[in-house]
Amino acid sequence: MSVQKPTYSFGDLPLEAVETGTNILVTGPALGGIRDLVMRMLLRRHAREGALFIAADVNGREALSDYETLGGKVDIARMGAVDCTEDGVDDGSCNVHAVGSPADLTGVGIEFSSLYERIHANGAARVRTGVYTLSPFVVYAPVKSVFRFVHTLTGRIRTADGLSVCAIDPSAVDDKTVASISQAFDGKVELREAGGQKAIRARGLADQPDGWLPITLDS
């Protein structure tokens, strides 16, 4: 009898489940629902999954609040956030670790590793990690440094059988930067809006539906 490989599923989104260790880059306009899409991809599907946010556009507490608003069950023992905003503060009550700036990639990496290990130690067999968004890192730090950071992050997640969902707005950075950063990921989920209808398309990920598929998201 064959043993089914563990996967990460995405609820009612028009995406098939992906294998553990998968890293996904989500591209689309910042005001077009990409935040909602990323959060929905990060929703824990069973109690032994954990979730970790690297928040650069909003603070860590807002990230956890938005997650809960979308129906996510907040379990602080198995969840947390690295707050990279300039006004971020540590908050032990909701497991938020502040770094202070997207430019401090070393600090972000240290806090991420610390939280990731703690979430695993608290019983999370697998962890979903979200980065919203990569754009501020590109603005505040050299592209080569951001690529090294992303490469290290995705490598750690791949080794730990985790899942990463990292967002970037292509209109906020140049095409060369997007192409460079994309190399660290297994595939993409692209988001667009045409004729008032939002749609997503998976690229480079195995066993996914072909073409653009309609989706309803909050902006």
The domains of the chain are located at 17-204
Tokens describing residue 58:
């909003």
pLDDT tens digit string along 79-90? 999 999 988 889
pTM for this predicted structure: 0.95
* 17-204 carries CATH number 3.40.50.450: no
Mean pLDDT across 43-61: 93
pLDDT tens digit string along 129-156? 999 999 999 999 999 999 999 999 999 9
Q: Please give the share of the chain, as a percent, with pLDDT higher than 70.
A: 98
Question: Which pLDDT score is estimated for 2?
Answer: 44
CA distance 9 to 137: 28
pLDDT tens digit string along 163-213? 999 999 999 899 999 999 999 999 999 999 988 899 999 999 999 999 999
Question: Which pLDDT score is estimated for 1?
Answer: 40
SS3 sequence, the chain?
CCCCCCEECCCCCCCCCEECCEEEEEECCCCCCHHHHHHHHHCCCCCCEEEEEEECCCCHHHHHHHHHHCCCCCCHHHEEEEECCCCCCCEHHHCEEECCCCCCHHHHHHHHHHHHHHHHHCCCCEEEEEEECCHHHHHHCCHHHHHHHHHHHHHHHHHCCCEEEEEECHHHCCHHHHHHHHCCCCEEEEEEEECCEEEEEEECCCCCCCCCEECCCCC
Would you place residue 4 in the very low, low, confident or very high pLDDT band (cuts 50, 70, 90)?
low
Q: Hey, which residues does 206 pair with through a beta bridge?
A: none
Q: Are 187 and 24 in contact (CB under 8 A)?
A: yes
Would you place residue 46 in the very low, low, confident or very high pLDDT band (cuts 50, 70, 90)?
confident
Longest dimension (CA), the chain: 54
For residues 66 and 4, which has the higher predicted lDDT (pLDDT)? 66
Question: Which pLDDT score is estimated for 132?
Answer: 93
Q: Are 9 and 129 in contact (CB under 8 A)?
A: no
Would you place residue 119 in the very low, low, confident or very high pLDDT band (cuts 50, 70, 90)?
very high
Would you place residue 6 in the very low, low, confident or very high pLDDT band (cuts 50, 70, 90)?
confident
